[in-house]
């Protein structure tokens, strides 16, 4: 069974904290223990040296001086018998056994100032202790000074560490785990909201938007990116639906015409020669091919980003004019001349924008009487014709798909009604637009506007 990120992070944080607390407690206790043992070693060493000096100078007091709680001092002869001791020590029982004392004497050496400090568990008093042994002389005979201090406070510290490891560390770990669980719940709440909203969008199967958390952090950036992706996907889906609907609607006429021509030719084989049938079919096939190409182009607009860059608009207009295919007989005004002027730059996908200007030129040449003028400036291409113009009420309607005004319908090849729709879609996909107005010569002015520079780098 899978676990949530919240649970995994809480468990990981709690485990790391538990290990850190345990390691810290052990390290702290170890450092304190070493420091306390070193302090006790210094005390017993100093006590052994002081008592050894007193005994060696034949100034043995009736009771050896001690100051620390539990501190014991004794002077033993060569056979290990007690010569004198501190008030809290036995006057007959040595503080250490004979074997241990012999080993410590051997380590201390025979010098009058030699001192050895060690740990012992053979003390006759409080268990583990630190012991210092210093050789000396008493009445001309070898003697040994023994000073001990119990490790009661060190042992207490170790017991306290044990309690903390068994009680305090688990309690602190559970408390922090609860805090981390609550904090992660608040932090991950926007993620859960995004997931729920995405699930709703997936269930509906239509357009939708994800909630964007407040602020400008990674989660809000993720939400905005996902919303952009959903918008693009919805746009692609809408284009696909529109393409299917347009294709189903507009392809009926050429297909019906082809079917009618075939049926007539089959029913009356003598009425149609092969050349006549080919001519009849060729026009409809070309019309259907052009229609399908335009529909596919509209379906692709915005589906995938182009390759934007800086564009020389004068060169782009000249390229569009050169790429413009001659219109069928009756569709182009006799003697219509295209004149180019001006210079300018813009930012966009050059290949796509060539198609925009070409469509605008095709539309202008189709409706011009004698001349078409193309004027270029920074971020703008104006295409003017001297035709009959378009009423102001129809200037937005002509950008709808398959819309053709009466004048266009009167010509034999007035187009499919997709040229201006394609031009505006591509222009807007490149950050610009196409609008229609009045030309100085009385016809239509189609103005393509584009950004002059690309987006600034983040």
pLDDT, one tens digit per residue, over 288-299 is: 776 677 666 666
Report the half-sphere exposure of 147 (CA within 13 A, side-chain side): 26
Q: How confident is the model at residue 123 (pLDDT cuts 50, 70, 90)?
A: very low
Q: Looking at the structure, tell me whether residues 120 and 34 fall in a common domain.
A: yes
pLDDT (mean) for 250-266: 75
Last residue of a domain, one of 277, 304, 331: 304
Q: Looking at the structure, tell me whether residues 244 and 364 fall in a common domain.
A: no
Most confident of 118-122, 297-301, 365-369: 365-369
Q: Is residue 200 part of a domain?
A: no
pLDDT (mean) for 121-136: 68
Output the pLDDT for position 410.
41
Total structural domains within the chain: 3
Q: Is residue 213 part of a domain?
A: yes
Q: Is residue 108 part of a domain?
A: yes
Q: Is residue 171 part of a domain?
A: no
Cα 124 to its chain centre, rounded Å, is: 68
Q: Looking at the structure, tell me whether residues 268 and 315 fall in a common domain.
A: no
Last residue of a domain, one of 154, 177, 196: 154
pLDDT (mean) for 154-165: 77
Q: How confident is the model at residue 127 (pLDDT cuts 50, 70, 90)?
A: low
pTM of the model: 0.48
> Which of residues 142 and 258 earns the better pLDDT score?
142
* pLDDT above 70 as % of the chain: 78
Last residue of a domain, one of 241, 272, 304: 304
Task: Pinpoint the alpha helices (H) of 350-430.
Answer: 350-367, 406-410, 419-429
Question: Regarding beta strands 371-377 and 337-342, do their DSSP bridges make them parallel or antiparallel, or are they unpaired?
Answer: parallel
Q: Looking at the structure, tell me whether residues 240 and 298 fall in a common domain.
A: yes
Nearest residue to 51 (alpha-carbon basis) of 144, 114, 150, 131: 144
Which two three-digit tokens encode residue 336?
A: 């219509």
Q: Looking at the structure, tell me whether residues 296 and 416 fall in a common domain.
A: no
Q: Looking at the structure, tell me whether residues 256 and 371 fall in a common domain.
A: no
Q: Is residue 59 part of a domain?
A: yes
**451 pLDDT exceeds 90?**
yes
Q: Is residue 454 part of a domain?
A: no
Output the pLDDT for position 414.
47
Q: Looking at the structure, tell me whether residues 263 and 381 fall in a common domain.
A: no
Range of the domain at 254: 206-304
Q: Picking from 60-64, 103-107, 327-331, 380-384, which range would have the lowest pLDDT averaged per residue? A: 327-331
């Amino acid at each position: 069974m899978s676990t949530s990120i919240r649970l995994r992070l809480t468990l990981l944080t709690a485990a790391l904290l538990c290990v850190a607390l345990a390691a810290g407690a052990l390290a702290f206790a170890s450092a304190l223990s070493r420091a306390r043992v070193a302090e006790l070693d210094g005390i017993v060493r100093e006590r052994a040296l002081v008592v050894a000096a007193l005994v060696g100078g034949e100034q043995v007091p009736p009771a050896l001086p001690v100051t620390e709680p539990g501190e014991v001092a004794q002077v033993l002869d060569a056979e290990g018998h007690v010569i004198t001791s501190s008030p809290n020590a036995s006057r007959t029982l040595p503080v250490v056994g004979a074997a241990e004392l012999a080993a410590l004497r051997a380590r201390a050496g025979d010098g009058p100032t030699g001192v050895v400090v060690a740990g012992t568990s053979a003390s006759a008093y409080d268990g583990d202790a630190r012991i210092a042994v210093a050789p000396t002389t008493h009445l001309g005979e070898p003697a040994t000074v023994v000073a001990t201090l119990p490790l009661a406070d060190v042992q207490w510290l170790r017991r306290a560490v044990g309690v903390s490891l068994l009680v305090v560390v688990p309690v602190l770990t559970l408390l922090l785990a609860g805090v981390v669980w609550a904090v992660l719940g608040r932090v991950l709440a926007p993620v859960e909201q995004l997931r729920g909203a995405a699930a709703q969008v997936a269930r509906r199967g239509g357009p939708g938007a994800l909630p964007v958390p407040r602020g400008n952090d990674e989660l809000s950036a993720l939400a905005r990116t996902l919303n952009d992706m959903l918008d693009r996907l919805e746009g692609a889906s809408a284009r696909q639906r529109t393409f299917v609907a347009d294709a189903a609607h507009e392809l009926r006429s050429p297909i019906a015409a082809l079917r009618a021509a075939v049926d007539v030719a089959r029913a009356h084989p003598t009425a149609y020669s092969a050349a006549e049938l080919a001519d009849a079919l060729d026009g409809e096939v070309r019309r259907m091919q052009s229609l399908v190409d335009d529909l596919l182009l509209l379906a692709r607009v915005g589906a995938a980003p182009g390759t934007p860059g800086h564009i020389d608009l004068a060169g782009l207009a000249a390229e569009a004019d050169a790429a413009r295919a001659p219109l069928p007989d009756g569709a182009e005004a006799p003697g219509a001349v295209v004149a180019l002027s001006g210079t300018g730059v813009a930012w966009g996908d050059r290949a796509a924008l060539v198609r925009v200007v070409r469509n605008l030129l095709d539309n202008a040449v189709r409706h011009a009487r004698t001349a078409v003028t193309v004027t270029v400036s920074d971020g703008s291409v104006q295409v003017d014709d001297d035709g009959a113009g378009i009423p102001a009420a129809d200037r937005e309607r002509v950008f709808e798909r398959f819309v053709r005004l009466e004048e266009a319908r009167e010509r034999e090849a007035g187009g499919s009604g997709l040229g201006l729709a394609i031009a505006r879609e591509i222009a807007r996909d490149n950050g610009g637009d196409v609008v229609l107005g009045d030309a100085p010569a009385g016809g239509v002015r189609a103005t393509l506007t584009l950004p002059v520079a690309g987006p600034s780098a983040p």
